[in-house]
Chain A
Amino acid sequence: MLSKNKIVLQAKNLQVCYGNHQVLKDFSCDLPEGFMIGIIGANGSGKSTFLKAIMRIVPVDSGEVLFWEKYNLQEVRHQIAYLPQRNSVDWDFPATVLDVVLMGLYKETGLFGKIRPKHKEKALFYLEKVKMQDFAQKHIAELSGGQQQRVFLARAFAQEAQLYLLDEPLAGIDAVTEEIIVENLQKLNSEGKTIVMVHHQIDTISEYFQYLLMIRQGEVITSGETKEVLTNENLQQIYGIKQAFVIQ
């Protein structure tokens, strides 16, 4: 059952700087629970930094983030799955596909515990969801970009979270992989999970997302249900161009 009134993530006046460059400026937003939420904006607008700031992967200069209206990150970290950009890791690292998905089961295995057959079975179950079960014993370097993304997604699914923060999961992948990923995300969403995803393809925004957070140069331009905020004016504003977009 969806509870779409609750706020799953509340950012209050976030400020993040990389050296002298201010990436997030007084960034505030309320994201509702149970939605497929798209974060859109031009390159360098602070979309990925916002997700990293939420997870405290980058230092936050000031501001506050609350989850489910009252909890801080430490209290709910295990309810959140974060999927980094694919190019953030070294794909030549000596690991198999199964090893990567097993990382997502850290809540069960612990960081010092032993991997047991039941953990491997569970990891295979999540690999099957993204149609990668036949690749379990393959070295991750042998995979295509789309397959790597699916493995990353299987790891995120294995975390069995309530909130999924995905940094460009559809970047640089083929149509088949995109279909598999979106299908899985929509299924998760139908089970009541919240999906927050950095997205770049304008033509699929209205199809994939029920709610949008539109960003420009580290500031929130607007947020709201897709049908209300996905307008030519807003798109022109976030991308900083005058050309009209064709919105279906």
Chain B
Amino acid sequence: MTNFEYVLLGASFIAISAGIVGVWLVLRKEALRSDVVTHSVLPGIGIAFLLFQEKKLWLLLLGAFVTSLLSLVSLDTLSKHTRLKKDTLMALVLSFFFACGLWLLVKIQESKNAAKTGLGNFIFGKMASILPEDILFALIVLFLVVTINFLTYRWLFFTSFDRTFSESIGVKTSLASFIVTFMSILTIVVGIQAVGVVMLSALLIIPSTIAIIIEKKNLSRIFVWSIGINILVIVIGTILSYSFPKTPTGAWIVVICFLIALVFFLKNNKK
């Protein structure tokens, strides 16, 4: 396989995971929550690099996983103990973690450690920076997301559609939220290098929103559409970023997502 084929394969694995997780995020009205997670991975990457002084992907992603989890814990704690609205808190937490991440990356860029090269790709994404061994990581995440989704499908359906009813029959809605959050953190962590922190939430949200517009009543078909659109935009984005090597993959993907979304939104505009 050529390097380009490896990259496309890895990109497709990320696209499938994002396609599944994105649908749940949109249906559960937790799209903004995913934005908090994507912006909160950056300080984790910075801290992991400063601690270990090397650019081993699994170490950086472990750091990303920890800080994204921390951001959600902060969000829920603040939500419980303050009277601020959820969207205000999300903006606060998101900005704080992202600012910390940027500050750390600037400090790292000023250091003399040669391994720092390429860390900037985590902000805007660079599909070409994916190595064949990273694909294995994407495959593991895909396996986990598909398995969790398969096992908890009805549970997530219940709690996404009718939380009050779900609680009345003893279903733990908070646990269901945690499952969706866990799947989204996994997907975000594995996708940041390819798509970038800033753009990843668009990849999670826009294709799944289009899928929900296309297919209104069958959830299984929504998943198929969402995955399909995700693969399409990520493949086109990758090809374009290879064709124009100095342009970030994430930006291409978001532009393509937006154009597709625009077509569907206008087509389905009831007014």
Contacts and interface: CB of A to CB of B under 8 A. Distances in A.
Interface of A: 19, 52, 55-57, 74, 77-78, 80, 82, 84, 88-90, 92-96, 99-100, 103, 106, 109, 111-113, 138-141, 155, 159
A68 B11 CA distance: 58
A111 B168 contact: no
Contacts of B162: 84, 88-89, 103
A114 to B, nearest CB: 9
B93 to A, nearest CB: 22
A111 B161 contact: no
Contact of B151 (A89, A94, A112): A112
B50 to A, nearest CB: 42
From A74, A95, A159, residue with most partner B Cβ within 10 Å = A95
Contact of A103 (B152, B165, B212, B216): B165
Contacts of A55: 167-168
Contacts of A19: 83
A233 to B, nearest CB: 35
Interface string B8-49: 000000000000000000010100000000000000000000
Given A94-B222, A111-B158, A139-B217, 10 more contacts: A19-B83, A55-B167, A57-B164, A77-B169, A82-B165, A88-B164, A99-B157, A111-B155, A155-B165, A159-B169
From A100, A103, A138, A155, residue with most partner B Cβ within 10 Å = A103
B165 A94 contact: no
A103 B157 CA distance: 9
B171 interface: yes
A169 to B, nearest CB: 14
Interface of B: 27, 29, 83, 151-152, 154-155, 157-158, 160-165, 167-171, 212, 215-219, 222
Given A57-B164, A57-B167, A89-B162, A94 B154 contact: no
B226 to A, nearest CB: 11
A106 B171 CA distance: 11
Given A94-B212, A112-B155, A139-B217, A84 B164 contact: yes
Contacts of B158: 103, 106, 111
Contact of A95 (B152, B161, B167): B161
A100 B170 CA distance: 17
Contacts of A138: 217
A41 to B, nearest CB: 20
B171 A94 contact: no
A57 B174 CA distance: 12
A56 to B, nearest CB: 7
A99 B216 CA distance: 13
Given A111-B154, A112-B151, A141-B216, A93 B160 contact: yes
A139 B162 CA distance: 16
B216 A139 contact: yes
Contacts of B215: 94
A57 B216 contact: no
Nearest to A100: B161
A77 B170 CA distance: 7
Nearest to A140: B217
A55 B165 CA distance: 10
Nearest to A141: B216
A139 B218 CA distance: 9
Nearest to B176: A111
A96 B212 CA distance: 14
A19 B164 CA distance: 19
A82 B168 contact: yes
A57 B160 CA distance: 16
Contacts of A89: 161-162, 164-165
A93 B217 CA distance: 7
A150 B162 CA distance: 16
Nearest to A96: B217
B225 to A, nearest CB: 11
A131 to B, nearest CB: 21
Contacts of B29: 90
A88 B159 CA distance: 12
Contacts of B83: 19
